[in-house]
Structure 1
Amino acid sequence: MFFKSLNPTIQIRLFLLFISTMSTMTVLPYLIIYLSDQVGNVIAGILFLAVMFVNVLGSILGGYLSDRIGRKKIILLSEFIIFIGFIGAAFANSPGGTFPYVTFIFFLFIQFSTGAANPVYQALIIDISTPEERRVVYTYSYWIRNLGIAIGSLIGAFLFFDYIFLLFLGVSVIALCTFFITFLFIQETYTPVKEKKEEKKHMFFLMLRSYTKVLSHRFFTVFSIASLLIVSVEEQLTNYIGVRITNVINEPVQLVSFLSLEINGFNLLGILKTENTILVVVFTMLITQVIRTWNDRYVLLIGLLLFFSGYTIISISTTPYILIIAMLIASIGEMMYIPVKETMLSKMVPDHARSTYMALYSITVILGVSTAGIFMIISSWLPPLALTSLIGFMGAVCIVLFFNLTRIEKSIIKQNKKAM
C-alpha cells in the first residue's frame, strides 16, 4: 500500500508527525543538559522527574476527555498550549537573559499538553483506519518519526547552546502551524456516546479494578519490569550519559585519527543519537532477513546482550570512536530484540482487555524514562564506575527475567488466557 492511497487525514497526520518530531528533537534531548548546566545535577534530576510526572497526568486526562468530548478539541487545545509554552521558553532564554526556572515552568505546560495529545493522536489514527491499513500506517509512522529524530537531533547538537532562543522560537512556529493545519484540514473522527449517571459515579473504581486485575498476571508484570529496565538504560544517553560526555569532553577533540574533524562532547552526543536512529531505519529489514531462521528465544537474548553491552561501554568510555562502535553494537542488539519482544507482548494480551494492558504498559515505559532523573540525582554522589556497574547490573537482571519468561512463555500465557 502506497502513501497516496491512505486516508487524507492520515497523510496530514503523518506530515505533522514529521515536522513536529523534527522541531521538538532539536531541543528536547538537550533540555536535561541545559538544566544541569544552569542549576546542577541534583536539581536538574528533580525537575526532569516533575516534567515526566505531568506528562503522565496529561496522558491520563487527555485519553479520558478524548473519549467524552471528541478528538479534535483536545488536539487543538494541546497544540495551542504547546505553542504558548515554546514562545515562553524562547523569551526565557532570549538575549535579554536566561531564566532556567521559568523555562522549566513553561516545559511543564508543554509536556502536560504533549502527554494529553499523544493518546488522542493514536486514537484518531485508529478511528479512520482499517485493521488491514494499520500495519502500513504504523510502519510509515515509525520511519517518519525516526527520520525526524535523526534530523532534529543533529541540528540541535550543533545549534542548541548557541541559538537556543531561535530554536525555541522555531519550534513554537511549527506548533502554531500544526494547530492551524489541524483546525483547517482534520475533521473530528469520533462522536462520544453520552454516559449514564451511574457510570460517571463509579468510573474511577471500575478503572482501578481493571488495572489491578492486569497487575495480578505475573507474566505481564515481569515482562513490564524487564521492559522498564531496557527503557531506563536507553534513556541515559540523553540524560546522565549525555551530561557526563558533555562535561568530560568539554574541549574539541579529533573524531578519528585520520580525519581533521574536531568535536566536543555535545556534538558527539548528537552524532550517537543520529547514528542509532539511522542504523535502525536503514538496517532493520536487513537484520530481520538475516536472523529470520533463528530461534526467537536466542534472537531476543542475544539482542539484549548486545544492547546492554553497548550501553555499558558508552556509559564509561570517553573515546569518540569507541563510543561510535559501542552504539553500533547496541543498535544491532536493538534491531534484534524489539520484534521478538513486541511479538511476546501481543501474544500475552487478551483481545477483550487490550487497551487496559497497553495503557499500563505505556505507563511502564514512562516510568522507565523517569528513572533518568534518578540517575542524574545519584550521579552527584556516586563515581562513574559505580553507575556503569549499576547499568550493567540492570542489563543482567533484564536478561535473566527474559530468559525465564521465554522458558515458561507458553504455559504462562495459556494460564493468563484462562484466568481472564
Structure 2
Amino acid sequence: MQPMKYADLHRNIKIHIITDFFTDLTQKSIIPFMAIYLSVQMGAGWAGVLLTVNIVSSMIAGLGAGYWSDRIGRKKMMVIAQCVQVFALFWLAAANSPWLNSVELTCIMFFLSSLSSGITVPIAGAMIVDVSSEHERHYVYGLQYWTTNVAITFGALMGGLLFDSFRFILFSLVCMESLVTLFILLFFIQETMERTEKTGSVQTTAPVRRNMLKTYGSVLRDRKFMVFFTASVLAVSLEFQLDKYIAVRLKSEFSAQLFHWNISGLQMFSLILAINTVLVALVAIPFSKWMGRFQSRSIMTVGMCLYTAGFAVLAFSNWAVLLIGSAVLLTIGELMYSPVRQVLLAGIIPDSDRAAYMAADGMSYNLAALLGSLGLMIGAVLPSYAMASLYVIIGIAALGFFRRSLRPSAEPSESLRCADAS
C-alpha cells in the first residue's frame, strides 16, 4: 500500500487543513487571553460566569448544528456560522479600536464568536469523514493533530505579543482571516452531504423525520458509541491533569539540579510543555504515515499504555531525568492514541447522523475538563503515589472501554486488512 500524500486527499480536506491552521492560529491568540481581559475589566467572578456561559452555549449550539447539518447540508451550516464569525470579529475589533472602547460590546461579540466556533467544529469533523477512507484518516488526523498543535503554539505567542497593547490590530487580523475563510467556503468547498445520502439505505433517510431530541436520544442509546464516549472522557481527562494537579504538584514539591542548573517546579513544568510541543512539531506527520501500516487497535493499545505510564510518572516523581523521560513517553503515546481515536470514531458512527455524533463526541472534552478540575481537588487530599495509581486505573479503564467499543466491528475490518496485506 502506497504511503499517503497531501496531494492525494479530497479537495475539501486539503482546504480545511489549511484554513483550520490559520483559524486555530488566530483564535488561540485571543481565547486564552480573554479570561485575563474579562477579569481585569469585570472582576474574576463575572469573568468566570461569562466564560462558563460561553462554553455551555457553544456546546448547545454544536449539538443543534450537528442535527441540522445532517438535514440541510454541511456547507450551508458552515457558511452561516462563518458569516456570524465575521460579523462578531468585525465588531470585536471595533469595540477595541482607538475610536471605541466598549467592554459590553466585546463580551457580546466574543459570545457570538464562541457560538460560531461551536457550530463549525462538529460539521467540519463530519465533512472530513464524508470524503475520506479509513486508510486516509490515519494520515489526515495525524496531519490535523500536527497543524493544530503548531497553530496553538504560535497563536499563544502572537497573542502574548499583541493582546495587551495592540488588541485592535490583533482583532483586525483575526477578522481578515475569518473573511478569507468565508470566501473559501463559499467558492471552493464542495457540499458533501449528497455523497452520504446516495447510499439509498433506509437508515440514511429515516433519521430526517426525527426531531432533535429523538436524534440525540438515539445517540445516547447507541451502546457502542457511549462506551467509546466514556473511554474518550477518561483518556482526555489525563491530559487535563497536566496543567492542573501535575503543575501544582511540581510547583510545590519539585526542586532539583539538571546539568548543574537549578530548576524550579514551574521551570520543569515549562520544560515538559516544551518537550511535548517540539516532539509533536518534529515527528507528528512522519509518525502518522508510519502508523498507517499497523492495526488501529494495536496502535491504540500501545499508545494508551505509554500515555498512561507517562502521566503516572509525572504524578509522583521528583527526579528531573525521569520527568523528562516521562514527557517524551506520554507525547509518543499521545501521538499514537489521539489521531487513531479519531479514525476509530469515524468507523463507528452511522453515516446518516455523522455531524450529530461528532457534536456529541465534542461533549467528551468538556466532561474531561471537569474531571481535570476534580483531579486537582482530589490531589489536595491524596498523596502523589495515590494520584499516580489513580491515573493508571483511569488509563487502563479507558483502554478497556476503547477495546470493548470496537470489539464487534473490528474483526471484519481487520480480516480485510490482513487479506490486503497478503
Q: Could you tell me which residue of structure 1 aligns to residue 116 of structure 2? A: 113
Shift of 1:324: 7.4
Alignment partner of 2:211: what SS? helix
Q: Which runs of 5 or more structure 1 residues have no equivalent in the other structure?
A: 249-255, 260-264, 415-420
Q: What are the Cα deviations for residues 56-83 of structure 1, in whole angstroms up to 9, with x where unaligned?
A: 2222222233333333332222112112
| Contact 1:51-1:111 within 8 A present in 2 as well | yes
| Contact 1:149-1:274 within 8 A present in 2 as well | no
Alignment partner of 2:164: what SS? coil
Q: Equivalences for 1:10-409 in 2 at 5 Å? A: 10-94=13-97, 102-129=105-132, 133-190=136-193, 202-204=210-212, 206-214=214-222, 217=223, 221-235=226-240, 275-284=275-284, 285=286, 299-300=302-303, 302-309=305-312, 312=315, 327-328=327-328, 330-338=330-338, 349=348, 355=354, 358-359=357-358, 362-368=361-367, 371=370, 375=373, 385=380, 395-402=391-398, 405=401
Query: Which has the higher mean CA deviation after the structures are superposed, 302-311 or 54-63?
Result: 302-311
Q: What are the Cα deviations for residues 311-344 of structure 1, in whole angstroms up to 9, with x where unaligned?
A: 647xx99xx9999777545424423544676677
CA 1:182–1:388 in 2, change beyond 3 Å: closer, same or farther?
farther
TM superposition score normalised by structure 2: 0.68
Q: What are the Cα deviations for residues 256-294 of structure 1, in whole angstroms up to 9, with x where unaligned?
A: 9989xxxxx8x99998656433312423456978xx899
Identity, in percent, stands at 26
| 2:230 maps to amino acid | I
CA 1:393–1:207 in 2, change beyond 3 Å: closer, same or farther?
farther
Rounded Cα–Cα distance in structure 1 between residues aligned with 2:358 and 2:232? 14
Rounded Cα–Cα distance in structure 2 between residues aligned with 1:224 and 1:282? 30
Shift of 1:16: 1.4
Rounded Cα–Cα distance in structure 2 between residues aligned with 1:343 and 1:16? 21
Rounded Cα–Cα distance in structure 2 between residues aligned with 1:190 and 1:298? 33
Shift of 1:189: 4.1
Alignment partner of 1:26: what SS? coil
Count of residues paired in the alignment = 388
CA 1:99–1:77 in 2, change beyond 3 Å: closer, same or farther?
same
CA 1:391–1:340 in 2, change beyond 3 Å: closer, same or farther?
farther
CA 1:297–1:170 in 2, change beyond 3 Å: closer, same or farther?
closer
Alignment partner of 1:283: what SS? helix
CA 1:126–1:409 in 2, change beyond 3 Å: closer, same or farther?
closer
Q: What are the Cα deviations for residues 177-223 of structure 1, in whole angstroms up to 9, with x where unaligned?
A: 11123223334444598xxxx97764345424412322xx3x75455
CA 1:229–1:168 in 2, change beyond 3 Å: closer, same or farther?
farther
Q: Which runs of 5 or more structure 2 residues have no equivalent in the other structure?
A: 198-205, 252-257, 411-422
Query: Which has the higher mean CA deviation after the structures are superposed, 46-55 or 395-404?
Result: 395-404
CA 1:149–1:275 in 2, change beyond 3 Å: closer, same or farther?
farther
CA 1:413–1:395 in 2, change beyond 3 Å: closer, same or farther?
farther
CA 1:354–1:86 in 2, change beyond 3 Å: closer, same or farther?
closer
Shift of 1:20: 1.4
| Contact 2:90-2:175 within 8 A present in 1 as well | yes
Alignment partner of 2:50: what SS? helix
Alignment partner of 1:161: what SS? coil
Shift of 1:298: 6.6
| Contact 2:26-2:174 within 8 A present in 1 as well | yes
CA 1:95–1:324 in 2, change beyond 3 Å: closer, same or farther?
farther
| Contact 1:89-1:102 within 8 A present in 2 as well | yes
Rounded Cα–Cα distance in structure 1 between residues aligned with 2:399 and 2:139? 31
TM superposition score normalised by structure 1: 0.68
Alignment partner of 1:124: what SS? helix
Q: What are the Cα deviations for residues 12-54 of structure 1, in whole angstroms up to 9, with x where unaligned?
A: 3332122212221222233334444554555444333222212
Rounded Cα–Cα distance in structure 1 between residues aligned with 2:69 and 2:180? 22
| 1:399 maps to amino acid | G
CA 1:403–1:152 in 2, change beyond 3 Å: closer, same or farther?
closer
Rounded Cα–Cα distance in structure 2 between residues aligned with 1:123 and 1:408? 24
| Contact 1:303-1:332 within 8 A present in 2 as well | yes
Shift of 1:110: 0.9
| 2:220 maps to amino acid | T
